[in-house]
Amino acid sequence: MATKSKLSVVEVKRPSREEAEAAISTLIRWIGENPEREGLKETPRRVVKAFEEYFEGYNMKAEDILGRTFREDMGGYNDPVLIRNIEVESRCEHHMAPFIGFAHVAYIPDGRILGLSKLARIVDMYARRMQVQERLTSQIANALQQFVKPKGVAVLIEAEHFCMKIRGVRKDHSKTITTRYLGAYKKDAGLRADFLQKIKGT
């Protein structure tokens, strides 16, 4: 396992927007281009604005999204709740290249349920940070476990990494699949089989 940096996001002093734009300008010059030419004049501003979107997950907290679960009469429902095909668009922390795919998230409620859109929002929050797919998978599962306290959580992510598609080994069709099972899903192979079966669809 990678060593965990003690430096958290809040402790890093953020540069100003102007400094960030100047950094993009530097990169443009570094590749041999002229940041002053007409087509590139606005590029640093646009890139920094795009970065705000790519990495907006740093301005969000899991408790704001998952903090409000509710107890509800579910009529005796105690099977898994699964949302499959949640679009994932993240960036690898090694190259800042996109990795794109789908997350499939299931939990088995233990009295509490979650607004369904919140599952998608928690995926987005962690995806919109510098990531490795393994950690993204774990963070989603751990957050659900922590805030919803279900009987079990299953997360599977399948993604294509552009740092493998368009550079490096240039394997255009490889997919990376990661899973994290907690609680009942960890103990029960039948539940995992049911999860994998439902992901595939009928």
Q: Which residues of this chain interact with Zn ion, rule CB under 5 A?
A: 92, 94-95, 163
Candidates 92, 104, 131, 139; catalytic one: 92
Which of residues 33 and 160 has its CB atom nearest to Zn ion in the complex? Answer: 160
Q: Minimum Å distance from CB 132 to Zn ion?
A: 8
d(CA 88, CA 102): 5
Candidates 52, 95, 145, 160; catalytic one: 95
Cβ atoms of 61 and 121 closer than 8 Å: no
Which of residues 99 and 185 has its CB atom nearest to Zn ion in the complex? Answer: 99
Reduced to 3 states (helix: H, G, I; strand: E, B; else coil), residue 120 is helix
Cβ atoms of 157 and 116 closer than 8 Å: no
d(CA 145, CA 152): 8
d(CA 164, CA 105): 25
Q: Minimum Å distance from CB 138 to Zn ion?
A: 18
Active site residue 93: yes
- Nearest CA to 196 out of 182, 183, 181 is that of 181
Q: Minimum Å distance from CB 135 to Zn ion?
A: 13
Active site residue 11: no
Candidates 18, 94, 146, 197; catalytic one: 94
Active site residue 161: yes
DSSP code of residue 11:
G
Which of residues 92 and 108 has its CB atom nearest to Zn ion in the complex? Answer: 92
Candidates 134, 145, 158, 163; catalytic one: 163
Active site residue 133: yes
Which of residues 95 and 135 has its CB atom nearest to Zn ion in the complex? Answer: 95
Active site residue 92: yes
Token code pair at residue 175: 């997919």
d(CA 178, CA 103): 10
Q: Minimum Å distance from CB 160 to Zn ion?
A: 12
- Cα Rg of the chain (Å, integer): 20
Active site residue 94: yes
Active site residue 145: no
> Looking at the annotation, which residues are catalytic?
92-95, 133, 161, 163
